[in-house]
């Protein structure tokens, strides 16, 4: 049987469209550095470039079925998505007076009733419960890096330094955590 690493980019995209996570992992290994470089050149921030890189591969996961090889190579498609995403992010950052980050306490805290709309409050509570439940199903190693990255705001490098885990392992654990969360949250819809 052929290993995923031997498959062409087009075949990997077909496999990703069939929800084969190993295909996405191979695609990430092939083009993760390229996508990061494209984002970094535009944004000038390692942390934001890492976020864009994860977002690009998340979009590849979601939109693999819509990829058309007659419009360009997978590499070109991914680089284009990275470029567009980075430019969009740069525009948004420039239009805001301050950059907001999600804190772990925001996810754990009960929502403050800013509007008297009980339906919105209930929906928000349910969404937070779903997210907490999905995170609790992750392996401890993935929960740890996910918490540090998304709720403590640490970059991949900072997580690696703080936990004495190789940078590649941090990135892999985050990618796997995001993939599993996506699947868990999709199943609940």
Give pLDDT tens digits for 113-137: 555 577 777 877 787 788 888 888 8
Quote the domain boundaries for residue 113. Answer: 104-187
Task: Report whether 9 contacts 27 (CB < 8 A).
Answer: yes
Residues 69 and 152 reside in one and the same domain: no
What is the CATH classification number for the domain harbouring 144?
1.10.10.10
Residues 91 and 109 reside in one and the same domain: no
**pLDDT of the residue at 164:** 86
Both structure tokens of 118: 């009980």
Task: Report whether 42 contacts 83 (CB < 8 A).
Answer: yes
Which of 57, 76, 95 corresponds to the end of one domain? 95
* Matching residue, tokens 């993939």: 179
Residues 73 and 108 reside in one and the same domain: no
In whole angstroms, give the CA distance from residue 94 to residue 125: 31
Residues 113 and 55 reside in one and the same domain: no
The helix or strand, by DSSP H or E, that contains position 105, with its residue range, turns out to be helix 104-108
What is the CATH classification number for the domain harbouring 19?
1.10.1740.10
Rg (CA), the chain: 18
**pLDDT of the residue at 24:** 92
The number of distinct structural domains making up the chain is 2
């Amino acid at each position: 049987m052929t290993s995923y690493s031997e498959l062409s980019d087009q075949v990997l995209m077909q496999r990703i469209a069939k929800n084969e996570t190993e295909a996405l992992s191979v695609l990430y290994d092939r083009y993760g550095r390229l996508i990061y470089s494209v984002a970094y050149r535009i944004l000038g921030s390692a942390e934001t470039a890492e976020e864009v890189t994860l977002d690009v591969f998340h979009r590849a996961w979601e939109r693999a079925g819509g990829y058309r090889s007659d419009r360009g190579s997978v590499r070109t498609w991914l680089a284009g998505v990275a470029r567009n995403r980075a430019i969009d992010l740069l525009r948004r950052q420039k239009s805001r007076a301050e950059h907001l980050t999600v804190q772990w306490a925001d996810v754990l805290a009960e929502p403050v009733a800013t509007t008297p709309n009980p339906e919105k409050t209930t929906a928000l509570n349910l969404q937070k419960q779903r997210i907490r439940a999905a995170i609790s199903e992750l392996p401890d190693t993935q929960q740890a890096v996910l918490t540090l990255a998304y709720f403590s705001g640490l970059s991949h490098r900072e997580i690696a330094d703080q936990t004495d885990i190789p940078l590649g392992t941090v990135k892999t654990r985050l990618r796997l955590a995001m993939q599993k969360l996506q699947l868990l949250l999709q199943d609940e819809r």
